[in-house]
Amino acid sequence: MKVKVAATQFSMTKVYEENIAKAEEMVRKAAKEGANIILLPELFENQYFCQIEDYSHYLLAEDYDDSKTIKHFQTVAKELGVVLPISFFERSGNCFYNTIAIVDADGTVLGKYRKSHIPTGECYEEKFYFTPGDTGFKVWKTKYGKIGVGICWDQWFPETARCMALKGAEILLFPTAIGSEPVMTIDSKNHWQNTMRGHAAANIMPLVASNRIGPESYGNSSMKFYGSSFIADQNGEKVKELNREEEGILVAEFDLDAIAEERYSWGVFRDRRPDLYGTILKTDDSK
């Protein structure tokens, strides 16, 4: 089966309605170019509020079963016949999660994934807001193939991609929000891309990464998101990439059946030795 995947990249404002409208515009543009699976950035409903610790930001969260964002994009997905992983700030009882809802091409919500790895640090104060996800890594059978979705910080852990691959994923998707690193004073763009390209190559399947762009400020905190959204093929090669400043979409086509044959021929799943991998379950590998 040949499938077209799309990455989107844009800036956000602090006005919810403006962000939803821009996200929909990007989805429509990608669909017009034939995209079947379209990835929006992490937490695109608002600017990245996690820069600072502010209790009022909890008011931005929505219940999964009553999310206006999910409902809006269910309608869009059904109209356009596209698959949409939708990032949103979830409230569940007294807990809050960084969550993705998977909307299939007929508008059906197939389920949700809650971000497993929660970062903390200057400008990335996510532990203040989000409970670590309890869904485990998941894969969904959509109209256009089996997809696995991790969220931003999840992508720095190879176990995320491998677990989704072991569950049968054919395409890996990573919505993200990443930019300046004020504490480390480095440019992490290449490291960020190279890590995910390694996931594509190691698991022999395409990967899509969508990031935001532009400066954003909250209180005394300010950072700039560096975009550089990209699509990698099953060998980890970048086939499409946006720059650090531009808004836009990327679309690439992959033959999932041909890639599956290539993946089987390499034998990387056949030759795994999980009996030897116990070390990664330990916090101290000296024991």
Which residues are the active-site residues? 42, 115, 152
Q: Tell me the C-alpha distance between 210 and 23, whole Å.
A: 12
Residue 274's alpha-carbon distances to 121, 148, 158, 185, 279, in angstroms, are 33, 21, 15, 38, 10
Q: Which residues lie closer than 8 Å to 278 by C-beta, 6 or more apart?
A: none
- Give the strand order in the sheet containing 37-39: 37-39, 2-9, 248-255
Q: Provide the sign of the torsion angle of the four alpha carbons 21, 27, 28, 33, taken in this order.
A: positive
Q: Enumerate the β-bridge partners of residue 230.
A: 209, 241
The radius of gyration of the chain from alpha carbons, rounded to an integer in Å, stands at 18
Nearest Cα residue to 27 out of 86, 71, 109: 86
Which 3 state secondary structure label does DSSP give 149? Answer: strand
Q: Which residue has the tokens 């021929």?
A: 265
Q: Provide the sign of the torsion angle of the four alpha carbons 138, 141, 147, 149, taken in this order.
A: negative
Q: Which residue has the tokens 């994009």?
A: 73
Which 3 state secondary structure label does DSSP give 225? Answer: strand
